[in-house]
Amino acid sequence: MRRSLAGVALAVTLMVALSFLLPLGVLVRTEARGQHIAAAEQRAAALAPVLALTTDTDQLTAAISSLDPDDGLGVRLPDGQQLGSDHSPAQLLARAAAQRESLTEDIPGGWLYLQPVVLPQGRVAVIEEYLPAGQLTDGVATSWGVMTLLTVCLVLGSMFVADRLGAQVVRSSRRLSRAAHQIGSGDLDSRVDPSGPPELQRVGAAFNAMADRVVELLAVERELVADLSHRLRTPLTALHLAAERMGPTPDAQRVTAAIDQLESELQAIIAAARTPLATGPMGRALQASEGRPGEASGRTKEAQGGGSRLGSAGRDRDEAPVCEAADVVERRAGFWATLAEHQGRPCEVRVSSEPTPVNLSADDLGAVVDALVGNVFRHTPAGTAFTVDVTRTALAVQLTLEDAGPGIADPESALARGSSDSSTGLGLDIALRAAIATRGNLRITRADLGGARITLTLGLASATPPRGRARALASGRLSRRAAR
């Protein structure tokens, strides 16, 4: 590209320069010839008054020497005597004297000017001015050289400027090409610094936006794979408990081995999904607003900008699905109550009788409940009690889960997706993103039972849908206890 631009600049500049240089050179030569001829005519005219006053040879010789020291000026007297320059052919002198008019003639080797002067008694003297051919073009070669040098400098300057402009475009294009190759080879962090002409700057900005969008879509895809794999753990837990009920039979052992293998595969899928891109768009937004994905125990994780909605990212808040939190929690708690009975876990589920609409689908909220309760089953020993409580405040719905286990020693790591040593970190991350989607928060503290208390606050939906069934108890809560 640089050679092409330099060649174009050379051709255009040279064409423009020659279109001015050639006529200008001819004009300079013509102007120089005209100036020398005018000077010669002036010298001849200056000698004419001297001839009118005297024909003395000594005085005329002195006048000729003073007017033209180059010996180009001469006089042919009426008696035929020649003073000074003598380059005129006899016929030209006779013609000038006879016609008594000035003559100019190009002769071999120069230019000749004859001016007749009428003397007393009708006699005619002829003044001659001769200019050699070299004198007619005196200074023309120097002028042409200067103009040629200026033309060469102009052409070289235009080529240099074109090369610099081409180099800037080439550098920007190469950086863009290199970044595109890096993106294609898997380096998703590659970006370009938009530079060069405005068009290439816009291309660079569009490339960066495209790369950011690709990273964001990959992060969303990996989070979806990890979250869906995490959801499969709930039915696997039920299958595992069902296999334990079968007793130590060969069939039960085969089923348990298959379940363990499937759970190991799910663990590998989750680890692979979150290893390259540990933090998705929602996590990055959360880090940007909070500084870090987790804070000290008791600190609140809140959504500053609304974030992506779990299972419905990109949809408008008015179009978000709405479900009854109390209904979903009660339904999922019924499933976990059966498993708790098998493991001898005392559990208590309390749900509010007031409307509890939240901007989440029933499947998404069910996944949150399964993730939180499933963590209790996976990280506390059998027989550990837990409670699930759903209450409503003026602006939010609170889902509180308490257990009597060892608690969470490092809430910051627990809330950081993928940073826990003993788990994938996806359970609390699913709950946290659900809270962010409804402009709520997640809090981890110490429970009255001695273990962990996880308080999930979900913002109320803008419109309250009709309840599936009425809830009316004097205490304002429906309690269900299962103590085994």
Rounded mean pLDDT for each run of 10 residues along the chain, 484 residues in total:
75 83 85 82 82 79 78 80 79 80 80 83 82 80 87 86 79 84 83 82 88 83 68 70 73 74 68 50 36 34 36 44 91 84 88 91 87 86 91 92 87 62 63 87 89 91 48 32 33
pLDDT of res. 467 = 43
Rounded to whole angstroms, the Cα distance separating 434 from 456 reads: 9
Cα–chain center distance at 159: 29
pLDDT of res. 120 = 79
Fold of 289-482: Heat Shock Protein 90 (3.30.565)
Rounded to whole angstroms, the Cα distance separating 158 from 328 reads: 76
In order of 165, 189, 219, the CA distances from 276 in angstroms are 40, 12, 9
pTM: 0.43
CB 330 within 8 A of CB 351: yes
Domain boundaries, the chain: 2-138, 142-216, 289-482
In order of 137, 241, 300, 474, the CA distances from 456 in angstroms are 101, 28, 10, 25
Write out the chain in H/E/C secondary structure: CHHHHHHHHHHHHHHHHHHHHHHHHHHHHHHHHHHHHHHHHHHHHHHHHHHHHCCCHHHHHHHHHHHCCCCCEEEECCCCCEEECCCCCHHHHHHHHHHCCCEEEEECCEEEEEEEEECHHHCEEEEEEEEEHHHHCCCHHHHHHHHHHHHHHHHHHHHHHHHHHHHHHHHHHHHHHHHHHHHHCCCCCCCCCCCCCHHHHHHHHHHHHHHHHHHHHHHHHHHHHHHHHHHCHHHHHHHHHHHHHCCCCHHHHHHHHHHHHHHHHHHHHHHHHHCCCCCCHHHHHHHHHHCCCCCCCCCCEECCCCCCCCCCCCCCHHHCCCEEHHHHHHHHHHHHHHHHHHHCCCEEEEEECCCCEECCCHHHHHHHHHHHHHHHHHHCCCCCCEEEEEEECCCEEEEEEEECCCCCCCHHHHHCCCCCCCCCCHHHHHHHHHHHHCCCEEEEEECCCCCEEEEEEEEECCCCCCCCCCCCCCCCEEEEEECC
pLDDT of res. 265 = 67
CATH number assigned to the domain covering 2-138? 3.30.450
pLDDT of res. 479 = 35
pLDDT of res. 284 = 40
